[in-house]
Amino acid sequence: MNTRRISKFLSLILRHKPETIGITLDPEGWATTQEIIDGMNAKGMSVTLEMLQEVVATNDKQRFKLSDDASRIRANQGHSIPVDLGMEAIEPPAVLFHGTATKNQAAILREGIQKRKREYVHLSADVETATKVGQRHGKPVILTIDTAKMHETGVLFYRSENGVWLTDFVAAEYISFA
């Protein structure tokens, strides 16, 4: 079984384009595991419930969640489609980090960090994770975000089930380099 291939396809379906396999996510981003299995199998991927369970359990970023009875599945964050993950705003640590490519550095310093096509800006609790994120986009640069000051001004923060910190926007004034 190619868990990476299944994981990438699940990300596409559960975070961006459920219509790829002809399904609609519920308002909280859930799909039934059976419709995921049926849809993926119809696209030529031989997938079973056991395979989905393994992908969820072994995904290094813990991108997905199964319901307690394994009848439903959803992505923990990273959506480009509107979903309500039911997260409550919480106080963030004093600083968080954002990994990006050096080619984005000048624009970020001018415009801040924007969510672009996603529902939220993603922030990391540690430099190591932010570095891994930044490497996906090119030569990495790590930004330090003064989340304590942001929070003091009323900016809301959420933490997804897999530990990724989320917010709507990071103004340039709160950004420095790690």
Domain boundaries, the chain: 3-75, 95-177
Domain 95-177 has CATH 2.170.150.20: no
Q: Is the confidence at residue 122, as pLDDT, over 90?
A: yes
| Per-residue confidence band for 59, with pLDDT thresholds at 50, 70 and 90 | confident
Q: What percentage of the chain has pLDDT greater than the value 90?
A: 87
Tell me the Cα Rg of the chain: 17
Which residues lie across from 154 on neighbouring strands? none
Dihedral Cα 61, 74, 13, 63, nearest 10 deg: 0
Question: Could you tell me which residues come within 8 angstroms of residue 92 by beta carbon, excluding any fewer than 6 positions away?
Answer: 123, 147, 148, 150, 151, 157, 159, 165
Tokens 């529902």 belong to residue: 119
Q: Is the confidence at residue 91, as pLDDT, over 70?
A: yes
Q: Is the confidence at residue 12, as pLDDT, over 90?
A: yes
| Per-residue confidence band for 114, with pLDDT thresholds at 50, 70 and 90 | very high
Q: Is the confidence at residue 1, as pLDDT, over 90?
A: no
For the domain made up of 3-75, give the CATH fold: Arc Repressor Mutant, subunit A (1.10.10)
Is pTM beyond 0.85 here?
no
